[in-house]
Structure 1
Amino acid sequence: MAAQAPPPPPPEQKMMVAIDESECSHYALEWALRNLAPRRLILFTVQPFSPLSYLPVGSPLGPSVASPELIRSVTEHQRQLAQALVDKAKAICAEHGVDAETVIEVGDPKETICEAAEKLNVDLLILGSHSRGPVQRYQS
């Protein structure tokens, strides 16, 4: 049985769709655009924080610490990937006539998404499910 679309939200309700590279994230965005017709939409992505200063680098003498140049390069590459992700999602929104705001943060996705939703005064947070059941969601 197909899920029924919820009633349309109030016109000024602010919604945030947390996106990543997954198919379920893309589906959640498409679902929100089709079923909720948002007027105020924030596309949010979070890049997991990794302590790059301790990035192990292979060496014949054993592991060593990454150079500042390598750290900057990896950080910039991650930023570019995040920007490409939100740009693609923003283009999808534009196809639906929605001019979305984009936000990119760095941190633990679970905590950062919740903090951003609160800080941005979001009325509705939309997430993809990653096909996890309730036990897997609780444990992860």
Structure 2
Amino acid sequence: MNYALLTLAGIDDQRPEVDIRRYLSPKGIELMELAKVTCSRELGRYLLAHPTSVGDLFAAPLWNEQFRELFREMQQVPVDGFDRPLRVVHSLSDTSVPVPLTWAQLAEMQQHGANVEYQQLVAENHRESLMASMPESVAFAARVLSPR
């Protein structure tokens, strides 16, 4: 459910011409707006306390070729067009996102000339990776964002 709400929020923000709101129920709009201003973990906690089905999000059907392509596009990670270096962190113990997908993405980004720094963790799960990589990530941000 988190990914669905985050995807809807991304469509609403990045593709306003689609007018995704016309397909959403009042509950769908409320939860999409919540997804825009909260982290995934908090959103998950909210959804556990307020169970909602995906069907509750919609007031009109939208499963057609246009929306299948749009959802596919919104789930893609760009491989080029970056104006500064990127940092990617992934753990071998992450069961939410299989690490071979990240390796494939990194290879494609490098083939397209993206400047990518990669840190591989071993024992951390998906959620633990953020905090485990924080010291290196803060140092990376300081290097990349410092005035030249």
Shorter-chain TM-score category?
Answer: 0.3 to 0.5
What TM-score does the superposition give when structure 1 sets the normalisation length?
Answer: 0.35
- From the two aligned structures, give the one with the greater strand fraction: 1
What TM-score does the superposition give when structure 2 sets the normalisation length?
Answer: 0.34
- From the two aligned structures, give the one with the greater helix fraction: 2
Structure scoring higher RCO (CA < 8 A, sep ≥ 6) equals 1
